[in-house]
Amino acid sequence: MILLLLFLGGCQPSAPQPVSDPAHISHQTVLPAYPDTMVVCGIRLPLEDPEVRDRFEREFYNTLHNENVSQQTIAAANTVFPIILPIIREAGLPEDLKYLAIAESNLRTAVSVAGATGVWQLMELVARSENLKINYWVDERNHLEKSTRVAMTFLKHLHKKYGDWNLAFAAYNVGETNINDNLKFQHVRRFFDLYLNEETSRYIFRIYAAKAVFEDPTKYGLPAYEFKTDSYRYVTINGPVENLTKLALEQGTSYRQLRILNPWIRRRGLPEGTWTLAFPSSSVPGSIDLAGYEYTKNPPVGTTPSGVVTHKVTDGDTLLSIALAYDVEVNEIRRWNNLKSDMIMVGQQLKIYLK
């Protein structure tokens, strides 16, 4: 009987143990402590406040935890920072604003569920208000130089309005109307006294965490920056361009490289207008033999199709941008496709009846 009891006792499951934050588990023995003082755009983070310290610590270790993303961010920064920093300085704004771009997109041309697009995650309304082109052919929110100028104009406006960078960051993330309403309703003036949604509350701390990690990534075992200032050469062309592969080959590169360096282009051609395109600095015009290359599937870019066309939804498309591209009304697109809302999905095919 005693032996049986001992045997059964050994088979019982052990009591559950508390699980720590995964970010702390994988790095708890190798990660250095986070900085004692954090300042972004001249604003000191009040780390003496236990709640503020805990919230910052969470984002700091989350940033370090995903080493692959951190390395990709550094690789992107090598080409992105040399382009955006002169524009930030030209606007007379703090260079620390580059860390906002990391918090927004990790310096990639991302598209959020809300439709914010590009390195600076610009919403369509803000982009259009500053005359960025968003249509069937192009989305200049993915044009790094142009979108950076728009982001700086918007951030300068927000800082002037609120007189505080943390509130400006929050308004950039969730919108001025939301912040105005919450400041009034909650009867507070400081960001740290506001009760906001989790995404915006964490967003501010991601900016501080981005500076803590990426100001000197080698402190945390990450690669050093190797800034590339001569990766591109620029060519200005007059549209329409019917075949961008042919243009790329004429410039000594590939269609793939052209699209990677010019992510604002959405189609295989460009309409009428003047366009400045980036090409690899190593590419040599005329170095590729175009003999034998022929592709005539697409209709001429400058022409207007007639009848019914099918539009395949791509990243960044909205019913408004599609309607503007085809010169039709949003409610017409809804009616033609039996849509009950403005929600559309990447890959969805929409019928457009051209006028």
pLDDT band at residue 325 under the 50/70/90 scheme: confident
CATH assignment at residue 151: 1.10.530.10
Rg (CA), the chain: 25
Residue range(s) defining the domain that contains residue 60: 39-220
Q: For the chain, how many structural domains are there in total?
A: 3
Is the pLDDT score of 352 beyond 80?
Answer: yes
**Judgement on whether residues 56 and 101 belong to the same structural domain of the protein:** yes
**Judgement on whether residues 196 and 315 belong to the same structural domain of the protein:** no
Q: Give mean pLDDT, residues 331-352.
A: 88
pLDDT in the model for residue 142: 97
**Judgement on whether residues 176 and 312 belong to the same structural domain of the protein:** no
Kind plus residue range of the DSSP H or E element containing 292: none
Q: Which residue has the tokens 């250095």?
A: 32
Is the pLDDT score of 173 beyond 60?
Answer: yes
pLDDT band at residue 8 under the 50/70/90 scheme: very low
pLDDT above 90 coverage of the chain, percent: 65
Please state the three-class secondary structure of 48-68 as a single string.
CCHHHHHHHHHHHHHHHHCHH
**Judgement on whether residues 190 and 276 belong to the same structural domain of the protein:** no
Asked if 330 and 319 count as a contact pair (C-beta separation under 8 A), the reply is: yes
Cα separations in angstroms, 113 against 67, 247, 344: 24, 34, 11
Domain boundary among 220, 240, 258: 220
Q: Which residues contact 70 (CB under 8 A, 6 or more apart)?
A: 63, 64, 213, 214, 217, 222
CA–chain centroid gap for 130, Å, is 18
**Judgement on whether residues 207 and 243 belong to the same structural domain of the protein:** no
Task: Report the distance separating Cα 280 and Cα 254, nearest Å.
Answer: 10
The answer to whether position 4 is within a domain reads no
Highest mean pLDDT among 2-16, 63-77, 341-355: 63-77
What number of CA atoms fall less than 13 Å from residue 9's CA on the CB side? Answer: 6
User: What pLDDT digit, counting tens, does each position of 37-86 carry?
Assistant: 999 999 999 999 999 999 999 999 999 888 889 999 999 999 999 999 99
**Judgement on whether residues 196 and 57 belong to the same structural domain of the protein:** yes
Cα separations in angstroms, 26 against 30, 55, 64, 67: 8, 19, 10, 11
Q: Give mean pLDDT, residues 168-182.
A: 97
Asked if 352 and 330 count as a contact pair (C-beta separation under 8 A), the reply is: no
Asked if 277 and 237 count as a contact pair (C-beta separation under 8 A), the reply is: yes
* Cis previous bond, 240, omega within 30: yes
Q: Which residues contact 331 (CB under 8 A, 6 or more apart)?
A: none
At 297, list the tokens: 């599937």
Is the pLDDT score of 23 beyond 70?
Answer: no
The answer to whether position 290 is within a domain reads no
Asked if 328 and 355 count as a contact pair (C-beta separation under 8 A), the reply is: yes
Asked if 284 and 252 count as a contact pair (C-beta separation under 8 A), the reply is: yes
User: What pLDDT digit, counting tens, does each position of 197-240 carry?
Assistant: 999 999 999 999 999 999 999 999 999 999 998 889 999 999 99
Asked if 288 and 252 count as a contact pair (C-beta separation under 8 A), the reply is: yes
pLDDT in the model for residue 322: 86
**Judgement on whether residues 123 and 211 belong to the same structural domain of the protein:** yes
**Judgement on whether residues 266 and 338 belong to the same structural domain of the protein:** no
At 130, list the tokens: 């500053």
pLDDT in the model for residue 237: 96
**Judgement on whether residues 67 and 133 belong to the same structural domain of the protein:** yes
The answer to whether position 200 is within a domain reads yes
The answer to whether position 188 is within a domain reads yes
Q: What three-state secondary structure class fits 321?
A: helix
Where would I find the H helices in 95-236?
98-105, 124-129, 144-162, 165-174, 176-186, 198-214
